[in-house]
């Protein structure tokens, strides 16, 4: 690297800096210029070092940060040859990554990783601008400030670095980062920690690219001998009257009596019992946060675990690609399909994903007129009104409705709508547990009112109602295993200990007797719920669900965990070959 003169600036290679008048004034200008130009080069590196100490928590994370910094800095130098501008651009990208990562953690309790770049889409950008309306102007303002500064650095920087050494240094940092990421991969559960933004992003880039190169976004067998038959449009001829079907997404709900020592209100537990008096377990594929994992399970009838490291983005990836699911199967049997969603439709591409699986009418929080987080009664009332509207327009056509609740969402450190249960008496647990139980009690009351409303408004209509808990609350592992460390709990979560993933599913009916079926097992994986619903409704299965039913029966309710994923991989390939799954 050597200084190169810039027009209009003192030239240290000429007497008196090449300035007229010479003397001590020129020397002072040159000295001042030397200090500022070196400071321009050093400042971004010093700032990055301070950021690293503030955000990275251990030596391995800090080493990954430094390597990522080296890759960024030397890559910019190779392109621009100006070290001051390269350092400033690298620092800008690091700061943007940290800010976006913290923003993502505030919204979905997980920091950004490399897959966010791989699957970025219009829905994600639209969602950000919707929930943060000032973000657009903040970005424009930052650009108006940053661009002139970058131009000034371009003009002032006298140093030039040769491209070949810069490329060599960047590749060297990349090689070491790859070695670290493959030898000491970052545990996926650390993505829920609000720290290590740059190191986690960098290491996830290595593992994500490696996994994508090996099996794409979704695991599947390379080839299978069997073939699925394509479903015939007129092959759904159920015996008897088709019931209206309502599937209720019961946010964060499970039977907390699974943890010892928890005090519960009188009568607690009846909510988890089906029409036949049985309590059944539902094995979700997430714990504590990502409801969209279960949304994928119950609508597509497939496993998010097949997506490996990409599973966090399952609904975004599946949008427009996984054209198979419960709503599509029900439409084939003459149902109209409706979804009530408690957030903006762009969140995790919910609208696009649900319409891909067959939802015809999608109502998000804005369309429903929701003002923030609403109690369950809000969505139940909207469901009754939409049902009345649908029945008024289409008469006897059966309806499938997906009612997505949100009142029992974290945080439980604050009271949600205390005005709705003024007579509540806390059982005497930790405050967050008592608040969780209070919201469950509200849910039970609101569900009872919903069932009563259906009976009153639709006295002659048959209904099949299936409820499920989408995942356990985030504090459940500490309740289930209070003596385990955070690290040990993380290992159990990564090993899919069923105690951490078991919630409930319940089958209810109004003016209808559910068909008895072996699929209504005591314990099922979430991906089998569409089968349970179709069998309970007495509906003929299309060829893909017929094949999945065979898997369910021989695997005794397990799906992805059966034969270490072999059954799921084979089934995914069958769906790909039949054209139900594309570009994965």
Q: Between the CA atoms of 440, 441, 446 and 449, what dihedral angle is there, to the nearest 10 degrees?
A: 140
Our separate counts of H helices and E strands in the chain read: 20, 10
Looking at per-residue pLDDT, the higher value among 533 and 58 belongs to: 533
C-beta separation of 160 from 82 below 8 A? yes
Instruction: State the pLDDT at residue 138.
Output: 61
User: What pLDDT does residue 23 have?
Assistant: 46
- Torsional sign, CA 358, 362, 365, 366: positive
Backbone angles phi, psi at 283, to 5 degrees: -95, 105
Contact at 8 Å (CB) between 19 and 29? yes
Helices 83-108 and 59-80: angle between axes, nearest 10 degrees: 130
pLDDT band at 106 (very low <50, low <70, confident <90, very high): confident
What pLDDT, on a 0 to 100 scale, did the predictor assign at position 359? 98
Which three-class secondary structure state does DSSP give residue 250? strand
In total, the chain counts a number of residues equal to 584
Specify the DSSP class assigned to residue 193.
S
Q: Report how far residue 157's alpha carbon sits from residue 5's, in angstroms, rounded to the nearest whole number.
A: 9
Q: Which residue has the tokens 């405050």?
A: 431
**What is the model's pLDDT at position 146?**
66
Mean pLDDT computed over 517-536? 98
Q: Is 35 exposed, middle or buried (0-12, 13-18, 19+ CB in 10 A)?
A: exposed
87: exposed, middle or buried (C-beta count within 10 Å: 0-12, 13-18, 19+)? buried
Q: Using one digit for the tens of pLDDT, what is the confidence trace for 450-465?
A: 999 999 999 999 999 9
pLDDT band for position 110 (50/70/90)?
A: confident
| Lowest mean pLDDT across 88-92, 126-130, 516-520 | 126-130
Say if residues 292 and 559 touch (Cβ distance below 8 Å).
no
**How far is the C-alpha of 314 from the C-alpha of 295, rounded, in Å?**
10
> Is 90 exceeded by the pLDDT of residue 369?
yes
pLDDT > 60? residue 7: no
Tell me the C-alpha to C-alpha distance, in Å, between residue 297 and each of 184, 301, 560. 31, 5, 11
For residues 542 and 201, what is the distance between their CA atoms, to the nearest angstrom? Answer: 42
- Residues 414/481, Cβ–Cβ less than 8 Å: no
The domains located in the chain, with CATH, are: 2-215 (no CATH), 244-537 (3.40.720.10)
- The per-residue pLDDT for 30 is 42
What is the SS3 assignment for 465-532?
EEEEECCCCCCHHHHHCCCCCHHHHHHHHHCCCHHHCECCEEEEEECCCCCCCCCCCCEEEHHHHHHH
Q: What is the mean pLDDT of the chain?
A: 87
Residues 6+ apart with CB under 8 A from 268: 257, 437, 440
pLDDT tens track for 233-249: 667 878 778 999 999 99
Whether residue 539 contacts residue 245, with contact meaning beta carbons closer than 8 Å, is answered with no
The answer to whether residue 569 scores a pLDDT higher than 90 is: yes
Cα–Cα dist 483/473, whole Å = 18
Task: Give 267's DSSP letter.
Answer: T
Higher pLDDT, residue 500 or 136: 500
Task: Identify the residue with better confidence: 58 or 571.
Answer: 571
């Amino acid at each position: 690297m050597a200084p190169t003169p810039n027009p209009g600036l003192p030239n240290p290679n000429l007497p008196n800096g090449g300035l007229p008048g010479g003397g001590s004034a020129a020397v002072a200008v040159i000295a001042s210029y030397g200090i500022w130009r070196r400071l321009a080069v050093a400042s971004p590196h010093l700032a990055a070092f301070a950021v690293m100490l503030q955000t990275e928590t251990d030596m391995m994370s800090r080493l990954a940060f430094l390597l990522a910094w080296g890759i960024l800095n030397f890559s910019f130098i190779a392109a621009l040859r100006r070290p001051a501008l390269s350092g400033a651009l690298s620092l800008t990208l690091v700061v943007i990554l940290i800010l976006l990562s913290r923003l993502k953690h505030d919204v979905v309790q997980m920091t950004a990783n490399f897959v966010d770049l791989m699957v970025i889409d219009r829905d994600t950008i639209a969602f950000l601008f919707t929930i943060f309306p000032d973000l657009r102007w903040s970005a424009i303002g930052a650009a108006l400030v940053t661009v002139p500064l970058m131009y000034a650095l371009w003009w002032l920087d006298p140093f030039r670095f040769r491209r070949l050494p810069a490329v060599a240094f960047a590749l060297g940092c990349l090689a070491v980062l790859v070695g670290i990421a493959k030898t000491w991969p970052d545990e996926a559960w650390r993505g829920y920690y609000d720290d290590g933004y740059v190191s986690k992003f960098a290491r996830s880039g290595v593992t994500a690219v490696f996994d994508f190169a090996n099996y794409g976004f979704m695991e599947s067998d390379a080839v299978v001998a069997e073939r699925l038959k394509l479903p015939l449009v007129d092959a759904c001829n159920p015996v008897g009257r088709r019931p209206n079907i309502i599937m209720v997404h019961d946010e964060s709900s499970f039977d907390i009596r699974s943890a010892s020592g928890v005090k519960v209100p009188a009568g607690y537990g009846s909510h988890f019992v089906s029409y036949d008096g049985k309590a059944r377990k539902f094995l979700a594929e997430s714990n504590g946060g990502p409801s969209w994992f279960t949304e994928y399970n119950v609508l597509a009838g497939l496993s998010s675990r097949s997506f490996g490291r990409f599973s966090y983005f399952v609904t975004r990836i599946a949008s427009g690609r996984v054209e198979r699911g419960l709503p599509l199967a029900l439409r084939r049997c003459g149902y109209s399909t409706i979804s009530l969603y408690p957030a903006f439709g762009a969140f995790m591409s919910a609208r696009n994903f649900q319409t891909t699986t067959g939802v015809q009418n999608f109502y998000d929080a804005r369309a429903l007129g929701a003002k923030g987080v609403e109690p369950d009664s809000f969505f139940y009332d909207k469901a009754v009104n939409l049902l009345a509207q649908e029945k008024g327009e289409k008469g006897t056509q059966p309806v499938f409705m997906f009612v997505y609740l949100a009142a029992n969402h974290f945080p439980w450190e604050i009271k949600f709508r205390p005005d709705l249960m003024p007579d509540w008496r806390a059982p005497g647990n930790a405050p967050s547990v008592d608040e969780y139980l209070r919201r469950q009690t509200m849910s039970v009351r609101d569900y009872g009112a919903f069932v009563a409303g259906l009976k009153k408004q639709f006295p002659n209509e048959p209904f099949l109602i299936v409820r499920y808990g989408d995942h356990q609350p985030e504090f459940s592992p500490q309740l289930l295993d209070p003596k385990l460390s955070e690290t040990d709990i993380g290992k159990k979560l990564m090993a899919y200990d069923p105690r951490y993933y078991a919630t409930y599913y319940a089958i209810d009916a109004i003016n209808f007797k559910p068909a008895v079926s072996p699929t209504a097992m005591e314990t099922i994986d979430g991906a089998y719920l569409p089968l349970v619903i179709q069998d309970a409704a007495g509906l003929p299965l299309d060829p893909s669900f017929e094949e999945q039913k065979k898997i369910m029966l021989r695997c005794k309710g397990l799906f992805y965990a059966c034969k270490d994923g072999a059954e799921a991989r084979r089934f995914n390939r069958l769906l790909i070959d039949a054209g139900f799954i594309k570009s994965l």
